[in-house]
Structure 1
Amino acid sequence: MPFIAKMTDDLLEFAEAPKEIEILDENGELLLAGDTDRRFFEASWMHRYKEKYYFSYSTGDTHFICYAIGDTPYGPFTYGGKILEPVVGWTSHHSICKVGDAWYLFYHDSSLSKGVTHLRSVKVTELHHLEDGSIKTIAPYSK
């Protein structure tokens, strides 16, 4: 499970003990490691949109970037869906930020190196929050 902790003002220490972040399914049950299409594996990011916190992360060997939504940065978070379908290359690390009035997903893939996973290229695409609070899934190679 992922962890969260507030940092001291100098960002050198924890201001509190790290706490586990719970990611729940649609029935309020914890997402477990065996749920490889939705589980947290690594590479987390958090952004706030319309008073909600979006915790996004990589699923690891299934190569999705998924997200879960909560009312506070401490959770609990409820699984929301996939942000990014798998890319060429092993990892799917990312970040999300707002520039002007638009939101963007930054990620990397290995398409320019023809799949050599340690030779990665930075990618950026617009990210769309839908009216119901969900995020539109991005298919990285569709036109």
Structure 2
Amino acid sequence: GSFDASSPESPTAHLPQDHEPALLPFVAKMREDLLEFDEKPRPVQILDQNGKLLLAGDNQRRFFEAAWLHKHNGRYYFSYSTGDTHYICYAIGDSPYGPFTYAGRILEPVVGWTSHHSICQVDGQWYLFYHDSSLSKGVTHLRSVKMAPIQHDPEGNIKTLKPYGDYK
């Protein structure tokens, strides 16, 4: 089927190594030409540690916008912005379809409103790319690109970053 660009906001295309493209925050396999869905899109489900769906009122952990997906050691990491609380959080699942279990925060709040991001691996090191409004002193439409290395611990968790910390 076709894609309606009016909803959802901030769609993300994920192109894993196994060549099964997906579009988030709804997830669906795409046709080979990447122009149409090969199946009906399904909503991404983020669960708490007890297996219950995170609800929109859970502003500390809920998905609001800025979906991203990366794969590390065979597991899928769905990361996103919480919106008005300004966190970048993540949840882990065994499939790009989910469900994903909330695992924590990747980034504490930055100067400015939005917290859109991406995560990628370069020469064996994982990096978080994001933006803030620090150079414009909080003018949210004047954004500066930032980058910080991230680490997956042996259990697969990502250490929370403070946006203005020391990343040596």
TM tier, smaller? over 0.9
Paired residue type of 1:26? Q
**Gaps (5+ residues) in structure 1?**
none
Q: TM-score, normalised by structure 1?
A: 0.97
Is 1:74 equivalent to 2:97 in the alignment? Answer: yes
**Gaps (5+ residues) in structure 2?**
1-7, 9-24
Within a 5 Å distance, the mapping from 1:1-143 to structure 2 comes to 2-143=25-166
Determine the C-alpha separation between the residues in 1 that align with 2:56 and 2:72. Answer: 27
Moved over 6 A (4+): none
Paired residue type of 2:84? D
Q: TM-score, normalised by structure 2?
A: 0.83
Between the two proteins, the alignment pairs up a number of residues equal to: 143
Paired residue type of 1:48? K
Deviations 1:96-138 (A, max 9, x none): 0000110000000000111000000100000110111100000
Determine the C-alpha separation between the residues in 1 that align with 2:59 and 2:107. Answer: 15
Identity %: 71
**What is the aligned-residue RMSD (CA, Å)?**
1.1
Which one scores higher on RCO, CA 8 angstroms, separation ≥ 6?
1
1:142 Cα deviation after fit: 2.3
